[in-house]
Amino acid sequence: MKQLEEQMNEEPHSPETEFWNKGFEVSSVSRIDLVEAGFSQDVVALLTDEQMERIAAKMGEYYTDQGYWGHLEIAVENTVGISPVRSED
């Protein structure tokens, strides 16, 4: 596996390519997550897949609005040891 420094010297990918738009799963929610969060197993068992998908979508909205970018920065710093470039306004 190439070191990050070696990769940085290579030709960058075009911003229009699939490379930049490829998604990587961050999280998911399951019925057992709801039970572990304190919801009744009997009630959770009645939730449809469509309702679970709506719950997951809402969780995605909340996470993006409240912490995603900060957590992303921390994850990158802790995983590959680089910090974002701050623009000087």
Torsion 71-73-78-80 (CA) sign: positive
Torsion 70-73-75-78 (CA) sign: negative
The per-residue pLDDT for 8 is 59
The per-residue pLDDT for 49 is 96
HEC states along the chain? CCCHHHHHCCCCCCCCCHHHHCCCCCCCCCHHHHHHCCCCHHHHCCCCHHHHHHHHHHHHHHHHHCCHHHHHHHHHHHHHCCCCCCCCC
The per-residue pLDDT for 44 is 95
pLDDT band at 1 (very low <50, low <70, confident <90, very high): very low
- pLDDT tens-digit map of 25-72: 888 899 999 999 999 999 999 999 999 999 999 998 888 888 888 888
Domain boundaries, the chain: 27-82
Residue 15 has pLDDT above 80, yes or no: no
